[in-house]
Amino acid sequence: MSLSTFRIPFWTILGSLLMMSIPQSLRADWVMDVRNYSLGENNVYIFLSYDGEVALPKTFQATLVFKQPVGPSVRATRYRTYLQKEMTLSTEGSGFFQLGFILPEGEYKVEVELMDVATGKMELLEQGKTFTVDQSREVKTSDIFLSFHGNAKQAFKEPILVSQLPQSDQVLSMYLRIKAPSYDQLTIRATLGIRQDDGAEIQSETVEVFESIHQRNRVVKLQPKAWVVFQDSIDLKGLERGDYLIKILLYNDDNVVAVKESRFRIGGRVQTRIFRDLDTSIRMMQYVAPADELEQILQLGDSMVKRMEFVRAWEKLFRDDPTSQMESYYEKVFEADARFAEKRTPGWLTDRGKVFIQFGEPRIRSVEIEGKTFERWTYVQWSLSFLFENRNHEYVLVE
């Protein structure tokens, strides 16, 4: 059996084995988030980021539906349509879009549906993302915007939309816009905490517990009619793998007048190795992603943009827990690289390495036929068998 002959069953079996699929839809190319951010006449923005072939102009029609709860309780399960709007987006010159809206205070759910104008193909990108607009408070704030840009204007324009961040020596900046006409100044306490493995049990429910590892207190001077930007930074270098919570509290004397939160995740030791040589790690995805998509990422010049697109590629493959699936995949790739390296070929590119990555640990039996040494790899669960011939200490797939 040649490698080319088992390429088709590999896609099917790997999908079952790792619960992995290659999304072939519009949803695979887009990332979406909604943020409270007063700018001009708009107080809410939907951010859409397209990470596909932006060099090739494409036109999409976005249908946005805002829904409000029905009934007196904000916890009502039934929602009514409050606003529906269609917008045309073109990737020519940009793959990042801000769509602004003016909404009255209340709780909303947002649905975003995209249609490729050229093909007519339609895909639901987001359904049921909940957010709240509260303009009645004396202290008005935006949501927390995270960015690797040290410039607030650029950060508010193109914030980080993904929650998974790579381990790196980069500095992550956080931004918060504040307006409080009734106050001359407020005290801000920004805390970074890491989630503990064992939560606390309160009234028979387990709640998350975060241990504070960084705190910054600052007094900000306010102006009656102007927005003030609070900025702080987090050095990602040395942060261990885990889930992190940024919590910003605004105080007037001892009274909390506003609270904002944002979350992100950092990878572990496997990810350290992944990002140490990112170009090689991107090439190692050849068994789970199309070659042209990988080449597009490799061609990116900005190292941080390349990292973010790499993370997005895994989020496209796994909508649920992309981090664990990515680490599981690379653990297998790194093991293959160590076990099956040959004198002229890295282990992950040898015939045995390719089969190991795609199908896992086999049942191995060494055999001799007419003076030649072979290895027979068997996967009973799939009725698959591969025969490798030892040719000058290099094993070649022959059957």
Mean pLDDT of 36-48: 75
What distance in Å separates the CA atoms of residue 367 and residue 372, rounded to the nearest whole number?
A: 8
Q: Which amino acid is at 50?
A: Y
- Give the other-Cβ count within 10 Å of 70's Cβ: 11
Supply the pLDDT for residue 248.
95
Q: According to CATH, where is 2.60.40.10 located in the chain?
A: 25-136
What distance in Å separates the CA atoms of residue 32 and residue 11, rounded to the nearest whole number?
A: 28
CA within 13 Å, CB half, 233: 13
**Does the structure show a pLDDT above 60 at 25?**
no
| Least confident span in 76-80, 98-102, 223-227 | 76-80
- Partners of 175 in the β-ladder: 145, 231
DSSP tag of 382: G
**Does the structure show a pLDDT above 60 at 199?**
no
CATH architecture of 139-267: Sandwich (2.60)
- Partners of 245 in the β-ladder: 193, 263
Nearest to 122 by CA among 44, 204, 26: 26
**Does the structure show a pLDDT above 90 at 365?**
no
- Residue 186: pLDDT band by 50, 70, 90 thresholds? very high
Mean pLDDT of 330-335: 89
The per-residue pLDDT for range 128-141, each reduced to its tens digit, is 778 888 766 788 88
Q: According to CATH, where is 2.60.40.2550 located in the chain?
A: 139-267
Q: Which fold has domain 25-136?
A: Immunoglobulin-like (2.60.40)
Nearest to 333 by CA among 284, 280, 367: 284
Angle of helix 322-339 versus helix 303-317 axis, rounded to 10: 100
